[in-house]
Each structure stands twice: as C-alpha cells, then as structure tokens.
A and B are shown apart, each in its own frame.
Chain A
C-alpha cells in the first residue's frame, strides 16, 4: 500500500521568509511518481510538479524548489521569499506506476499562511 505523510498540518511565516514543506512517502514499488499540488482558498487543486522515481535531480521553478531523496523517502518543497499569494493548502501525493494509470494517494495537506 502507498502512503504519504505530511507531518506539518499548519505553518505560518512572515512574508519574504523561506519555508519548507515536508513530505515522506511509503511504497513497495520501485517505479512511482511524486506530486505537489496547491489548493488555494478558492478550492481548485493546482498541479505544481511531478517527479518519477528514477529522477532524483532537484528542481527549481522560480521561487519554488523541490528536494527528492529516495534514501529517506522524502520529497520536500521549499518556497523562497514567500508571498501572501502563496497562502494555501499544499498536498504531496504519490502514484505507483505498476497500475498503468495514476491512482494518486494524497497526504493530509499542509496549510501555509503567509503573513504580510
């Protein structure tokens, strides 16, 4: 069975601070995909990134960066110089490739509040 743990349920930071959202996953598969989604107060899930298990390169996209470490089964997400618009619930998620499709398991989410 696959499982995603986001231990931080809520985080508050002051604008311009950096913040890291933690994600730990469990899977028996060797081939899998990891995701981060953003859910702003409007409710719609916004895709941020997908990584496959064979690609451990860290990725940077603007103020966002992701650190994937298979050795610790972690896929952490860092926002640099946070902004108020970053306030949202962030979900880490996992799907196992063996199924032939993406049956995505989500974590419980981390609610990020950026204070001006």
Chain B
C-alpha cells in the first residue's frame, strides 16, 4: 500500500513569506507526528496529533509555527514570516497506534533565502 507522502518535496521561499507543508499519512493511521531535521542533525519532534487534535505541540519552536489536521487524516504544517533559520527538512510520520512503529515520509526540504 501507499506510504506516507509529503508535498512539496522541495520548497524555496523568501524570508518573511508564508509556507504550507502537507502530509498524507498512511490510510487509517490515527497518530501523526511532525519532525524537523536540520543539516547534520537528527530529527527533532515538533507536534503530535491523535485524530484531529494536537495532543502535544511542545516542540513547535515559536508561534510562527502551526499545524492542523481537520479531518484526522491529512495534516498541514504552516509557517508564518519564515526566517532563514527555518531552513530544514520537515518530516512527517504516521502510526496505527500510539506505541506502534512510526512510518516516515520522504520529507519536504524547505529553503528560506
């Protein structure tokens, strides 16, 4: 079956612009996670959804970052007033249960000029 997909695969934007990154989890997976991976680093947790609700958004770096999952499936990570420091690969993962294996998508590489 289809895995986790993320669009776009690459996004280049200018400082100060707004961006949206999309994640399509594996069908039926209730848990969805966003991570950010900076160059040379491991992924860092951003936010966790169980169904439609953000159960833990403690990893979001500041209020410019926001994520939604309105129907409990697709999720969108939104970044306002982008800064050069936001440049990273944004990874999405989904899981069929809270303690089950997380399946990762290919990521969206965001470059802020």
Contacts and interface: CB of A to CB of B under 8 A. Distances in A.
Interface of A: 4, 33, 37, 42-47, 50, 91, 93, 97, 99-109
A72 B55 CA distance: 33
By Cβ-Cβ distance, the 6 closest A-B pairs, closest first, are A106-B42, A45-B104, A101-B98, A44-B106, A106-B43, A91-B42
Contacts, number: 60
B31 to A, nearest CB: 7
A99 B48 CA distance: 11
A104 B102 contact: yes
Sorting the interface of chain B by its residue count into under 10, 10 to 19, 20 to 34 or 35 or more gives: 20 to 34
Consensus secondary structure, chain B interface: strand
B50 interface: yes
B104 A102 contact: no
- Most chain A CB within 10 A, of B42, B99, B102, is at B42
Nearest to B58: A103
B103 interface: yes
A104 B98 CA distance: 12
A100 B98 contact: yes
B71 interface: no
A44 B42 contact: no
A97 B45 CA distance: 16
B25 interface: no
B41 A108 contact: yes
Contact of B42 (A42, A93, A97): A93
A66 to B, nearest CB: 15
A103 B56 contact: yes
